[in-house]
Amino acid sequence: MGKSILKITGMHCASCASSIEVSLKETKGIKSANINIATEKALIEYDSNIIDLGKVFEIIKSLGYSAVEDFGEENNSENKYLKLLKIKLGLSFVFALPLMYLAMAPMFGIYVPEFLTEKNNYIQFILATLVIVINFGIWSSGLKNIVRLRPNMDSLIFLGTFSAYVYSLLGMFIGMEESYFESAVFIILFISLGKFLETITKGKATAAVKKLAGLQSKDAIIEKNGEEISIRIENVKIGDIVIVKPGWKIPVDGIIMEGFAAIDEKAITGESIPVDKKVGDEIIGGTINKTGYIKFRATKIGKDTMLANIIKIVEEAINSKAPIQLLADTVSYYFVPAILAIAFIAAGVWLLFGYSFSFALAIFIAVLIIACPCALGLATPTAVIIGTGLAAERGILIKSGKALEIARKINYVVFDKTGTLTKGEPEVTDILEIDNAKFNKKEILKIAASAENYSEHPLAQAIVNEAKKEKISLIKVSNFEVLPGEGVKCEIDKKKIFVGKISSLKNSKEIEGVSVLENKGKTVIAIKVDSDVVGLIAISDTLREHSKDAVNSLHKNGVKVAMLTGDNKRVGDAIAEKLGIDRVLSEVMPSEKAKTVREIQDEGNVVAMVGDGINDAPALAQSDLGIAIGSGTDIAMETGDIVLIKNDVRDVAKAIKISSYTFRKIKQNLFWAFVYNIVGVPVAAGVLYPLTGILLNPMIAAAAMAFSSVSVVLNSLLMKTYK
């Protein structure tokens, strides 16, 4: 299954996006298509065995638009488009201002020279024509989409301004005094101004992604044959030795081979204090070396770097859709045809009531112009863009609009213990001899470490590390076997050895000292030789620095917290008591984690599962919201709906808060977008005229329409003040 982000040009409103989206979804081989009018990009998933991107481009082109694959590279196309809009807007004002003077001056008793008065209509015609020519793209787009039977916002503007222009042109030749040249011009002028402001504000909305892209270095200094050589970043190869001096940007991901440095990772992880890095530590491309001189071996380059993955995740998130967007999309798809029908019906009704053609025409134009599907189309994506950007700046990667929407509903968070609430770096704290056994502490550790040397479990590594610390030589074992959720077994000198959780033994409660250790929150490992338990090893995993703060933050937001652990109930309860956790799910086998999460869901809860992204994948997938913690590891990047780049569990509460804040903004935007159209269209149709004499001038309608979209985007931009 392929996934690509496409840059689409030629879209002018939400109905354009809906039209493309519907056509793509109807195409065999395309699994999903999400068009984001705010970024003018499409996120598509497709079966590459059935359809390729070339065919997708052809479909989009047949609809009157063009598309190219977006690789997240910086280009100047947006700046060029903005400059072009600026030039067109400036020229339009140059010709529109004298037209406004000619049309409006007599109304306000302002003097107009006689030679201009005599040729007033002809001068207005010339000035109006020049403005229309400058902005002919609106007419061209509107007409093309009418011909294709896929009318969009430009189609409404085209019909309204074309009607006003042609009516005025005919009136000029037959000597009518009424003219709508100024209406046609000012409608186009306000629409152009609105598009210009909208483009600026949309550009600000995507600032977070641009900021991330700007972190990418252009050059690198590598060491080759003892010399320092400057090369372009794209020429760095895996294995190259890269040199970074104080104040320099780290070009690619790697492992330090020489030196020591304090690395500023704020732009990637949100960590405000520089992180000390030494030989053997991993460093991230795009971060800054504040102090120290280092040499590192490049391990990831190009699209495989952590920064490139973060940019990709954020890009996909802002181009995905929150479920609430579906309502706006559905309305937008049918909106333009409905407005066309309302405009014709309204004009026809007023003609039937005996009003003049010019009166009905003004109604027709006002209805067409005031309608705005753009505000509806921009309401959700602009808020999602800012929301995901706010999260990314804090080291929280929200991978989709759907995840952003679900996060606010979470009322139960389940934490995996090891590696999430604890550091996942357990240490041996006690070694106990069994009175009737003939093994001392050193021998117990030697047997246990020899057996566990073949296991990758954190508890096993803690035992092996303790043996290394004591400089104990390990023994060769045979018939080694892992017992999932229990421990390991093997043979040493033809004796059967078991090293594993004390709870795996039938008589565990009878062994002296076990309860004392477990009540302290320690995990007890039994060492069994043949049928006898010869010793116990107690292991303690250090709690993360901010685990208690994370639980407290969730409680303040009314969210319950559970802890999932393979340890027995006494160990789980001891840790839960320290952290203030509501519920302990102990002695849970790895294969049972997803089932346990499902049981909590069956109680009517909306559940977020927080794990390290390595062995918690089934539980993360089962939960309503999977949150992977793991310092941005590759596996964590691929697992879960939200990725916490830092090992800071407080970010779980932050993610939920940002989600709730973003969703409030989405609801505000949608409310005003719907209200604007629900109120504006009937007023433009003249429903208030019989009672109050109020009739909406088409120019005022154009101004209102233009600024409705801008106001929605500006409301989203206010999110940047979030603390």
CA–CA distance, 321 with 400 (Å, rounded to integer): 7
Strands 412-416 and 560-564: parallel
Q: Are 165 and 128 in contact (CB under 8 A)?
A: yes
416 is catalytic: yes
CA distances in angstroms from 178 to 99, 225, 359, 471, 684, listed in the order given: 15, 84, 11, 102, 20
CA–CA distance, 540 with 523 (Å, rounded to integer): 6
Cα-Cα-Cα-Cα dihedral of 115, 119, 121, 124, to 10°? Answer: -70
- Give me the catalytic one of 416, 616, 648, 651: 416
Strands 523-529 and 642-644: unpaired
**Structure tokens given for 442:** 């050193």
CA–CA distance, 558 with 606 (Å, rounded to integer): 13
CA–CA distance, 103 with 628 (Å, rounded to integer): 64
CA distances in angstroms from 339 to 159, 180, 333, 358, 371, listed in the order given: 12, 21, 11, 20, 7
Q: Which residues contact 678 (CB under 8 A, 6 or more apart)?
A: none
CA–CA distance, 125 with 373 (Å, rounded to integer): 30
Q: Are 330 and 17 in contact (CB under 8 A)?
A: no
Q: Are 252 and 301 in contact (CB under 8 A)?
A: yes
Q: Are 346 and 338 in contact (CB under 8 A)?
A: no
> Which strands form 427-433's sheet, in the order they lie side by side?
427-433, 532-540, 523-529, 495-501, 487-492, 478-483
Class of residue 80 by CB neighbours under 10 A (exposed 0-12, middle 13-18, buried 19+): exposed
CA distances in angstroms from 87 to 83, 93, 133, 337, 567, listed in the order given: 6, 10, 13, 32, 69
Instruction: Please give the radius of gyration of the chain, using alpha carbons only, rounded to the nearest integer.
Output: 34
CA–CA distance, 50 with 417 (Å, rounded to integer): 44
**Structure tokens given for 405:** 């929407």
CA–CA distance, 709 with 160 (Å, rounded to integer): 19
Strands 607-611 and 583-585: unpaired
Active site (catalytic) residues: 416
